Structure 1
């Protein structure tokens, strides 16, 4: 028999007024204030209740938890700890009978939980244990079940659940958590202290949605995609495929969340002239794959979207791949 924790992220600003009349509860919270979508009320949404019922019907002991802070997320994650180690490090229990389901209204919420998992289990460099893989800074993180709170995503940017082909129905999610197998996936860490599950898109657009020029040095391992001296329209950093396109232009060619590589692309406007002297602008896409990528903005700040969370890049930021570091339960 498994103990299953159904974790929902909420906001400290929760209040009954935040609930709309057409739903049991409103949006959710991300890992920081600028990642919060909308406030969440105390009443669990229908998918959470349906998943809890399906788990209980199978004999699992189920607890639903709404976490409104990093500390409350950490209290839940502590249940996944293994027995004490001689080196004193917190380490996940590979044989744990506790399973975690994260109910998410956005990819940013799932990222918030994985970010706390990394912070809990990543050892400091000075205490790196011998049993940690040479190409990793974190051990195998516990597998999580993912329960989407929104309908199936369509359009150019599908959520991570859709990209990975994970179940969306609450009963199917419950079956995957109890009977399925963990599917291990790559994780991108960055030197800003966060993680990326899907990808990031750097760049801005005007009010009409047209991309704006910016400059930055983009380097993938030893390959320089831009030296910072030419204008860019976008830079895509892909673990999965959610940020593979810019309008109708393919940026990332073959993003794979389990190949141990990050794929990076920059879109560069190139001015050409026809044989009659007419000026034309075409978009050149340069791509590279590797273990790590570094971006250095040259013109002040560069807006970005990372796993659905918006921010501004003000200084050098590096992402690197942790192959197979996290996992999802799948049927």
Structure 2
């Protein structure tokens, strides 16, 4: 028999004087917003899918508990149930044979990212205590698999959230079936030196109120390849683990990002002015792409707005992302 925890992220707006902007779990926590980022997730989470999923688990004989976490500390209390037995080295490690299943009810990819970020914080050993049984290409062990319950299926499908990209079930009963009878699909994880993680991808750049792109400059490197040295004007830079940021309007930025290949795909869009044979000026976007294990972005002038798994922020200093192959997992049929 499995113990199932159905975790919903609330916010401090549920408490007197609180609000989503105050750094509650709905927003991924204050340390998940780099360089003054602000996140506006939908904090009012529908109860109907959660109750339907809980009923489906109960009908299968599972013991179910629903929890609403409004802070990182409350998320951590839930994740502690996934801990393995004490290790001789004293590290906190996930239990690979755990009979506890975690299902995250998500209103956005940023909420799912908030839970995975806390998993990384819990189980990643400090560099000075790196154990011998940790894979050479990883800084975290295999994180426990997560069941994903989208709370707004119609809206999420239209926006191609991560669950839709991965082909995960969206119906509450189907989610319960996947968690109890399915398999754990291991996926790559992007960690960054700001202390957070990326599940889907990031898009750097913005547009003005009229929808016109705002140009910026920055040095972008993928492993040893330099996509731009900081002299080019850029419209956007896409960092893809999955395919959520693969297009910019009608322009294909990323080729075929794969969250299971151990690589990050990166693209920059550079406006190039050309002249026709009749002397007319035209601007087209030149897209430069590269794939590798790590990417760094160094803004040259001021701060660059970005979206990272749907969370908004501004990048004002160098930021590096690197791939953790197969580090996290989802339950799927």
TM-score category, normalised to shorter length: over 0.9
- Within 5 Å, which residues of 2 pair with 1:238-257? 238-257=240-259
Instruction: Look up the SS of the partner of 2:301 in the other structure.
Output: coil
Distance 1:12 1:39 in 2: 10
1:12 matched residue in structure 2: 12
- Structure 1: stretches of 5+ with no match in the other structure: 19-27
Q: Secondary structure at the match of 2:14?
A: coil
Q: Which one of the candidate residues 35, 38, 45 is aligned to 2:39?
A: 35
CA contact (8 A) 2:187 2:328 kept: yes
The whole-number CA distance in structure 2 between the counterparts of 1:163 and 1:175 is: 19
The 8 Å contact of residues 14 and 40 in structure 1, kept in 2 or not, is answered as no
Q: 2 CA distance for matches of 1:277 and 1:36?
A: 46
* Deviations 1:266-317, CA, capped at 9 Å, x for gaps: 0000111122222211110000000000000011000000000000001000
- The 3-state SS of whatever aligns with 2:27 is coil
Does the 8 Å CA contact 1:148/1:168 hold for their aligned counterparts? yes
Deviation by residue 1:213-242 (Cα, 9 ceiling, x = unmatched):
000000000000010001000000000000
Matches within 5 A, 1:1-331: 1-14=1-14, 29-32=26-29, 34-40=38-44, 45-152=47-154, 153-155=156-158, 157-331=159-333
Does the 8 A contact of 1:14 with 1:39 survive in 2?
Answer: no
Unaligned runs of 5+ in 2: 19-24, 31-37
Q: How much is the aligned-residue C-alpha RMSD, in angstroms? A: 1.6
- Aligned residues of 2:29 and 2:71 also touching (Cα < 8 A): no
Note if contact 1:136-1:322 (Cα within 8 Å) is conserved in structure 2.
yes
Question: What secondary structure is seen at the aligned counterpart in 2 of 1:29?
Answer: helix
TM-superposition CA deviations, 1:54-108 (whole Å, max 9, x none): 0000000000000000000000000000000000000000000001000000000
Deviation at 1:205, TM superposition (A): 0.2
* Closer/same/farther in 2, CA of residues 327 and 61 from structure 1, 3 Å limit: same
